[in-house]
């Protein structure tokens, strides 16, 4: 598992597909999530594109594409029930899966220990 400074987690499976969600720390800071807008499957994205909109009771925020690649699956369950993002942010409430050409780009991101240090946990 890798972590970005934007509080995303990235999990790579055996086939090189990267699942992306937000961390429990981010979900807690956001407060109750009430709206999620996800990209369409098939969208080609570049690193740092704003591809997800997430709105909590407090404010709207964007989630950036962590890598170059193609969106291959999105989690419609969190669109229907945005509150899942608060309940299980690092599990069932993943946001999207992407196919990435260059997995070595993941090396730039933090491991769990570095992320915990980053958030001061």
Partner 1 sequence: MAEDNLKSTVLNALHRELGARMVPFAGYDMPVQYGLGVLKEHLHCRDHAGLFDVSHMGQVILRGPDVALALESLVPVDVAGLAEGRQRYAFFTNDAGGIEDDLMIANRGDHLFVVVNAACKDADLARMKTVLEPRGVSVEMLEDRALLALQGPEAEAVLAALAPDVAEMRFMDVATVMIEGVEVWVSRSGYTGEDGFEISVPETAAEALARRLLADARVEFIGLGARDSLRLEGGLCLYGHDIDTGTTPVEARLTWAIQKVRRAGGAREGGFPGAERILAELETGAARARVGLSPEGRAPMREGVPLFAAETGGDPVGQITSGGFGPSVNAPVAMGYVPTDLSATGTRLWGEVRGKRLPVKVAALPFLPAGFKR
Binding site for partner 1 (CB under 8 A): 31-32, 34-35, 37, 53, 55, 57-60, 79, 82-83, 86
| Residue 110: strand, helix, or coil | strand
Residue 15 CB, nearest approach to partner 1 (Å): 33
Which of 57/104 has CB closer to partner 1? 57
Which of 40/102 has CB closer to partner 1? 40
| Residue 99: strand, helix, or coil | strand
Phi, psi of 26 (to 5 degrees): -65, -45
Q: Which residues, 6+ apart, have CB-to-CB distance to 70 below 8 Å?
A: 42, 43, 44, 45, 98, 99
Residue 58 CB, nearest approach to partner 1 (Å): 7
Residue 107 CB, nearest approach to partner 1 (Å): 32
């Amino acid at each position: 598992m890798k972590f970005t400074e934007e509080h995303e987690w990235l999990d790579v499976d055996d086939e090189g597909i990267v699942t992306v969600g937000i961390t429990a720390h981010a979900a807690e800071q956001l407060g109750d999530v009430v709206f999620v807008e996800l990209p369409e499957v098939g969208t080609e994205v570049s690193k740092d594109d704003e591809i997800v909109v997430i709105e909590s009771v407090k404010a709207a925020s964007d989630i950036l594409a962590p890598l170059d690649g193609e969106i291959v699956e999105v989690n419609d369950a969190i669109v229907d029930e945005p509150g899942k993002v608060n309940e299980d942010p690092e599990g069932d409430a993943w946001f999207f899966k992407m196919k990435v050409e260059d997995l070595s780009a993941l090396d730039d991101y933090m491991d769990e220990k570095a992320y915990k240090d980053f958030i001061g946990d």
